[in-house]
Structure 1
């Protein structure tokens, strides 16, 4: 009874001020009402308004509408807002994160207006979104006119509605809630002090949320505190001073902790229900969200243009294959194999040694052909004058270069031996098949012989090297074999993969929003472009957050990428198939 008399007396003292009084106390875990007075009376909320401004900012960041590091251009309107303010200057640019700190900690009006304009383009449009969000949260008796809470006709709320908003701030965006308990914060322009630092320091367990004051509103406060597993949220409108308001809130907090049960089942507030708002079928926000440009897939980049092949290189290739044709006798099959393989190596290696005429292949790196196919072809041609046609055909087919029948024709062409009962083969007519088979390709195409001029030839990464088409065209007129066979070029050895294919990936961490995960993926891809080239950036949403991953790697690539990232101090773990 004495406690009740004390509460009534204290409330009467507060009501003696100019501003009307109201309060509301709930168990934040369940939403149970523990105490209320004038809880549904529409009053001036003052800077409690900024809880909604910040709630929408957190929402916009999570949805990818804007980022914490987005540069915000300060307008004349924002810069001219009345105190309390950060001291922003029109035309200045500042990151959104500093505006959020200033609004949450110092209750800066210029920062609040700048946040609204950055998200919606104007404060009027932002106020409309504030009202729609309030409706979606169940704040049925609240109307916002601005982003900061300075007194304006029709800008009203209630103790119940502001308590509801405070509960949503705590449960919907816990990753940002720590802002409201910071005694000081770096707002870039300067370090700012919390407007509620006295209550945060004096009341055990207090960790937020927001103060507000105007002459019309009086001294307002929405406070949250946790003790022994209980969390109480208390709202007071119309305090006569900071001290009397804080004392009243402390008294109501104690009442709440005494009445709240010790163990309850947590019942989080429901997410904002935008879709049920009248006249807004399918809506998901208080505006048309700018989400059409968000990255939802990351296609692999197209390959870089291949460099042009110098005319001197084409001439050298022509000479090399023509010489191979001229040497096509029974006892020179191995020289043919060497010359053809040499011409092949001109296509798949960037040897530093110059070709005849000083032409260098440095920097020209078409896609390599399988080493196994080349070696099997060389073996087949090398024994073409001693093994049977069937044996050679089988070796060629085993190498994957041709069918057995094609292999027989190639073997005959290489050895110069006619088939039984047949005329001597036309070496010039068959050398094209020989070259294509050596490169792991199929039958030749007439179209490839006419679609490229020698003076502007380009290396095309196909099975058949198109620069050899010109050699084939000249193969029908053998030349004297006066040029010695070129020295063997260093081979490009392709090590067989042991990873089971490009089904591996890496994870570079878990984040609170898709935007944060995408940003980390992009920064990592740019920093590790050599290691992660060709991989797919992917964000996986889980119950605990958003996983940032790179997929489409071999096991070796994934291990190498993680090793590089960990050496730079970044988190990384490999993701195995399945």
Structure 2
């Protein structure tokens, strides 16, 4: 049987030598942008959130697994419920046996316990708690499957044309797919639709039941102006992130998917931010150097 893998690998090796983006102004020397491996999982996009202008993209419409970036949509529907008055920040969300049985990361609830909406938001943003995400989905949708259908429907309304949700958490499911472009659309929608709630995405820890729960979005505090949004990882996806930058009159949404490690992902996001803020960006030629497979 024909195996296309060697051809695909050769293609991405050759891609590292190509100039993917070129401007029409004066052209400074090429800049080299290190891209995390593996190339077949990689996708990225940078968008000016104020204008919607695309500043950078590679494979931004290719199908990818969202992993915990899924929880951004779970939160979007929860924020809508807050806005409509369906829930308040004090509303108690029961944690079912199904929700409590989700694999880590999670807060580890016992039978019959519940969590208030404010703490649930923080648990999903900071800890990426799978048990809490599923509990929210069951509470708002009646079941996790029904909530996933609601998520997909809302995604279509937002213009996320290539996204299908199967669960509320982003845990592995072969039918749950998205694109870097769709993740950028959702990041912008969260920022524009819920400015009063967006502060949650800047939090790197929170107190829950007397203990400090720390997060793992290391972009917070690393680059001045970064104010969220969400990380994600499953084995099939690699290391994903949607990052919001908001400083000095610039607002960017940066999506990187398929990195080989959190460190590579974060380094790449920082390089993309610096590139996008450079006054010579429009005239620069950027070569993508892929790490070894």
For normalisation by structure 1, the TM-score amounts to 0.43
The partner residue of 1:238 within 237, 258, 269 is 258
Kindly state the Cα deviation for residue 187 of structure 1 after the two structures are TM-superposed: 3.2
Q: Which residue of 2 aligns with 1:43?
A: 64
Kindly state the Cα deviation for residue 191 of structure 1 after the two structures are TM-superposed: 2.5
The partner residue of 1:74 within 68, 71, 95 is 95
Deviations 1:444-478 (A, max 9, x none): xxxxxxxxxxxxxxxxxxxxxxxxxxxxxxxxxxx
Q: Distance in 1 between matches of 2:30 and 2:267?
A: 15
Question: Are residues 66 and 2 of structure 1, via their aligned partners in 2, closer, same or farther at CA, if it must alter by over 3 Å?
Answer: same
Q: Distance in 1 between matches of 2:60 and 2:131?
A: 30
Q: Which residue of 2 aligns with 1:371?
A: none
1:88-237 residue pairs with structure 2 within 5 A?
88-188=109-209, 190-196=211-217, 198-237=218-257
The partner residue of 2:42 within 6, 12, 21 is 21
In structure 2, stretches of 5+ residues that fail to align are 1-26, 282-293
1:249-288 residue pairs with structure 2 within 5 A?
249-258=269-278
Deviations 1:289-308 (A, max 9, x none): xxxxxxxxxxxxxxxxxxxx
Larger gyration radius, structure 1 or structure 2: 1
Question: What is the alpha-carbon root mean square deviation over aligned residues?
Answer: 1.8
For normalisation by structure 2, the TM-score amounts to 0.83
Question: Are residues 4 and 150 of structure 1, via their aligned partners in 2, closer, same or farther at CA, if it must alter by over 3 Å?
Answer: farther
Moved more, 83-92 or 142-151: 83-92
Kindly state the Cα deviation for residue 188 of structure 1 after the two structures are TM-superposed: 3.5
CA contact (8 A) 1:56 1:130 kept: yes
Deviations 1:169-212 (A, max 9, x none): 1110011111111121123374221220x211211111100000
Question: Are residues 187 and 133 of structure 1, via their aligned partners in 2, closer, same or farther at CA, if it must alter by over 3 Å?
Answer: farther
Query: Which ranges of 4 or more aligned residues in structure 1 deviate by more than 4 Å?
Result: 1-5
Q: Distance in 2 between matches of 1:204 and 1:41?
A: 30
1:555-570 residue pairs with structure 2 within 5 A?
none
Structure with the higher fraction of residues in strand conformation: 2
CA contact (8 A) 1:27 1:260 kept: no
Q: Distance in 2 between matches of 1:260 and 1:91?
A: 58
Deviations 1:64-113 (A, max 9, x none): 22221111111001000011111122211221211111001111101100
Structure with more contact order per residue of length (Cα contacts < 8 Å, sep ≥ 6): 2
In structure 1, stretches of 5+ residues that fail to align are 262-578
CA contact (8 A) 1:61 1:67 kept: yes
